[in-house]
Amino acid sequence: MEIGIMIEGQNGLNWPRWQRIARAVEDLGFVGLWRSDHFTNPSPPDKDSLELWVSLTWLAAHTRRILFGPLVTPFSFRHPVWTARMAKDVDDLSGGRLVLGVGAGWQEREHRMFGFALLPVADRFARFAEGVQVVRQLLRSDTPVTFHGRFYRLEEAVLLPRPQRPGGPPLLIGGNGERRTLPLVARFADEWNAVYIPPARFAALNRRLDALLAAEGRRREDVRRSLMTGLVFGRTDQELRERLRGRDPDTLRARGVIVGTPATVTEQLRVFAEAGVQRIMLQWLDLDDLDGLEALARAVEVG
């Protein structure tokens, strides 16, 4: 199982922190670095937050090995044409290392603050389904695209230059929903990214996705299976207790959070791999704790 790092870009991210983390993730041997696409958190205080695509452009030009991308970039912020156009160019700049994670949007506060229309849930997912199709067609069709939807309309549209990677970057759809998300994954995605679920639940959704893929005439290996989940890591039992801050580790593990010292973290990762997780993105919340990140890399032997 591949092991990457995920950070919350709205949680104090600025240029010095982003540059240090990106270089550390590359040097330490993690497979990749992913980040959220938010203006701010659901509740105050508001903190520094680098714009997603600007930060990914820097990363594309200043790293050589790691995969990277958004978990996830919502169409509620950007028209899918812009998402597709930026994604293909950033992917080309990186030499083909972007994983394009897209989402519907969810956080009410930031949409209200900055004037974006989040929409009721049913409309939001209808817009998302159209956006996925627009992005996919613009990246994968070498002939002009015409699309007439409820939310988006294209007339003989083509993005030039064409992506250097045939079809552009792989398309990731994130979420745990069986009714809306997994059917979209089965129809359109190259990677499914589950969020904060325990191994047994991941395995059940994984089987459901297999069935949906078969119904679409696709192979199970056509879609990579990944998971983004929380991490509470301590190099010693004492450090772990301090990082837990009174939270019950078993309760956290029941939600899919990985909790422990090196030996117990390694065992929990093994269980997720057995459940079908091919790539895991571990949420690293302390943006200044590079020593801890190095200790994690040694513990899980990514280097």
For the chain, list the domains and their CATH numbers: 2-300 (3.20.20.30)
CA angle 6, 8, 14 (to 5 degrees): 110
Residue 107 sits at the vertex; the CA angle it makes with 102 and 110, to the nearest 5 degrees, is 105
The confidence score (pLDDT) of residue 200 equals 98
How many residues comprise the chain?
303
Residues 6 or more apart from 213 whose CB is under 8 A from it? 186, 219, 220, 222, 223
Phi/psi of residue 137, nearest 5 degrees: -65, -40
Q: What is the mean pLDDT of each run of 10 residues along the chain (303 residues)?
A: 97 98 98 98 96 98 98 97 98 98 97 97 97 98 97 98 97 96 98 98 98 98 98 96 96 97 95 98 97 96 83
Q: Specify the pLDDT at position 230.
A: 98
Spacing of C-alpha 278 from chain mean position? 14
Q: What is the pLDDT of residue 83?
A: 98
pLDDT (0 to 100) of residue 184: 97
